[in-house]
Amino acid sequence: MNLYNRLSNAESIEILEKSGEERLILSFYKYFKIKNLSIFRNYLFSSWSKIGVLGRIYVADEGINAQLSLPKKKLSSFTSELDQVDPLKGIRLNFAIKNSTKSFLKLKIKVRKQIVVDGIQDKNFDPTNVGKHLNAIEFNKILSEKGTSCIDMRNHYESEIGHFIGATTPNVDSFKESINFIDKKFKNENRNKKILLYCTGGIRCEKASAYLKFKGFKNVFQLDGGIINYVHQLKNNNFKNKFIGKNFVFDNRLSEKITNDVISNCHQCGSKSDNHVNCSNVACNLLFIQCDRCNESLNGCCSIDCLNINNLSLEEQKNLRKGEKTSKRIYKKT
């Protein structure tokens, strides 16, 4: 059996459209020791591809981080597959607020050194000794307490479009930078200080809370299930929502609207906007915020230079890209 998806995006879209199946978007993570990564990775690909799973999954010897979609009718089959792996049996799944057929186009399961790159060098660090998990109501209570420091453990381009009221939103591009930020921020802080952490689904807070405990902090708390779980609890319970704006997500949707507040601006003209796009020039692919007016005038490009390249024929664009290495690029916050 082929253990890699060889379809193009166009072919995947055609298959998804023809199927007409309703799909669910979900995510989960788990820190646990994996001995043979290649065997584990291939096992997941083989079993999940048979039930139509698409998504981006990272496995490392420290655990798994999964963001995926699957046919709604296959959910029970998927949970049964998860139950075949002891550490994943009964694992909580974070379901998206809104679903989309084309959130993911391929099944990609990649072996990494870490499921979340942290930059922590001390071999005595124990990522399993984590802070206290809080439900949404408990989170709100501690957030409102005087003296609590609430830190958004996401990247700046995520918190820019939405965050909890009163939270510190570091100007960082990676989780590794977030670890450096909290290291410096709390270096000389009282070890009894209350520190409240949150992220999208919980995986980054899990490791960050363990790091703060490793540094001697006694009162470390994290939002259980992250923003995604918070919003689901918000819908099912009567309590005040303290999150404003959108929640950034790492699939083709790019965000989920939580409130109608637009707290960010177009990176080109400065008008109010919270729509993330990738530059239409595939050689650039810059992730940035663009309002509808700029999107129309620049055809989804981040600059005039990219617009000019995007207006060239596909053959001319390919010739320009020859020998060039492209990687994920994001708008840098000044």
Residue 334: what pLDDT? Answer: 58
pLDDT in tens, 72-120: 999 999 999 999 999 999 999 999 988 888 899 999 999 999 999 999 9
pLDDT at 215: 96
What pLDDT was estimated at residue 85? 95
pLDDT tens-digit map of 290-307: 999 999 999 999 999 999
At 10-57, the pLDDT tens digits run: 888 888 888 889 999 999 999 999 999 999 999 999 999 999 999 999
Q: Who has greater pLDDT, 327 or 215? A: 215
pLDDT, tens digit, 9 for 90 and up, residues 174-229? 999 999 999 999 999 999 999 999 999 999 999 999 999 999 999 999 999 999 99
Among 199, 205, 279, 301, the one annotated catalytic: 199
Is 207 or 127 the better-scoring residue by pLDDT? 207
**pLDDT over 70 at 7, yes or no:** yes
Domain ranges of the chain: 9-111, 132-232, 264-334
Kindly state the percentage of the chain with pLDDT values over 70.
97
**Is the pLDDT at 279 greater than 70, yes or no?**
yes
132-232 carries CATH number 3.40.250.10: yes
Over 70: is that where the pLDDT of 323 sits? Answer: no
pLDDT band (50, 70, 90) for residue 128: confident
3-state secondary structure the chain: CCCCCCCCHHHHHHHHHHHCCCEEEEEEEEECCCCCHHHHHHHHHHHHHCCCCEEEEEEECCEEEEEEEEEHHHHHHHHHHHHCCHHHCCCCCEECCCCCCCCCCCEEEEECCCCCCCCCCCCCCCCCCCCEEECHHHHHHHHHCCCCEEEECCCHHHHCCEEECCCECCCCCCHHHHHHHHHHHCCCCCCCCEEEEECCCCHHHHHHHHHHHHCCCCEEEEECCHHHHHHHHHHHCCCCCCEEEEEECCCCCCEEECCCCCCCECCCCCCECCCEEECCCCCCCCEEECCHHHHHHCCCCCCHHHHHHHCCCHHHHHHHHCCCCCCCCECCCC
Range 313-327 average pLDDT = 75
Question: What is 9-111's CATH number?
Answer: 3.30.70.100
pLDDT above 90: percentage of residues in the chain: 80
- Does 199 participate in catalysis according to the annotation? yes
Q: What is the mean pLDDT of residues 254-275?
A: 96
